Structure 1
Amino acid sequence: MKKNDIIEVTINDLEFPCIGIVNFENKIVKVKNTLPGQKIKARVVRSKKDSAEAKLLEVLENAFYEQEPSCKHFNLCGGCTYQTVPYMNQLEIKAKQVKNILDEILTENYEFLPIVPSPKKTGYRNKMEFSFGDEIKEGPLTLGMHRRNSFHSIINTYECRIVDEDFRQILCQIL
C-alpha cells in the first residue's frame, strides 16, 4: 500500500475523535469521519511501515445500526460526527473513548462511572463556537460552523439540531 492508492475496506474500530480503524495489508489504517461497520472507499494519504492514513472518498455501505441524521446540515457541517448512530450507541462510543484516554494517562486504578444520558436528544447543547467566514471563496461573509474537513469554509447552520432553540433564533437575527 502506497500513497494515493484507492482502497475499499470495512472499518472495525474507532478512536477519538471519530477516526475509524481497520487492519489492511498488515497495516493499521486510520480514516477520519468513519464508523465501525461502514464499508468505505478511501485514498491513502500517508503510508508508513506499520500504519497508514487515508481520506474518506465514499461510504459504500452504511453500518447496520446507522439511522438518518436529524439535522439537514449533517453531511456538510463539521460540528457533529455521530448523528447517524442511535443515541444509546453514541453514549457507549463516547464512554469507551473517554476511558481509553484516561487509561493512557492515569497510573492508578480508578472507578469509571457511566455517562448519564441527557433527557433531551436534540437542542441540548448550551455552548457553540460559531465562526465568521466565507461559505465560498471570495463570497459574502457568513456566521456558522466549519464545513466538514475544511478549516476555511463556513456553512450557515441556522437549523442545527443539537443547539438550543435560543441559539438558532440569535443566529437567524444576526444573519
Structure 2
Amino acid sequence: MSLHNAQFVIDEAYNTGAIGPKGAGLVNALGLEKDVAIRLHTFGKALAASDAVVLCNNIVRTMLLNHSRSIMYSVAPSFLALAAARASYTLLKTGKTQQAQERVQYLVKLFMKTLTSSPIWDRAFDAGLLHIPLYDDEDIESLPFVTQILPIWTRPKHALYLSFHLQLAKFFVLFKVLSFTT
C-alpha cells in the first residue's frame, strides 16, 4: 500500500547549465520533471551569475513564502544578478552552450579513462584503497552523461596522501574525511 507521503527535493546546483538538454539539469535529462516536487537551480556555477530559483508547485511556494525565514528576510536579487542569469538562460535556450556541455562531458570521461587505466588503479581498487562510487561498475563511454563532480572515496588515512599527490600534479583537490559509526 502506497501512502504517497514522500516527495523528492533535488539540488541541481552543479547540473544547471551542464547536464541535460540545453543545460536544464539532471531531472530534465531523466524526464522526471513531474515526479520531483522541488528543484533548486543555482546560477553561481555553470551560469557564472549569482542567486538561485526554486521550481515547485503553488502549495510548496506558499509554504516557503510563509515559513522560510531565509526567504522572508531576504531582498530581491540585484538587476545585475538577474541580467546575468537571464543572459545565461538565453544562451542555454538557443543551444549555443551545447558545444561547451559536450566538452565538459568529454573532459570528465577522459579524466575517468586516464585515472582508471593507470597501472596503479587496479591495485588500489582491488586493495580497497580507492573507488569512485558512481562509476565503479560502469563503462564510462556507454553512459549518456556524467557529472563533473567525481567523488573518489578512499580509506580515511589515505585521503591526505591522495590529495597531496594530486595537488603535486596540479589538480585542484578537496578532501573530507567522513566517519561512520554503527
Do these two structures clear the TM 0.5 threshold for a shared fold by scoring above it? no
Higher strand share: 1
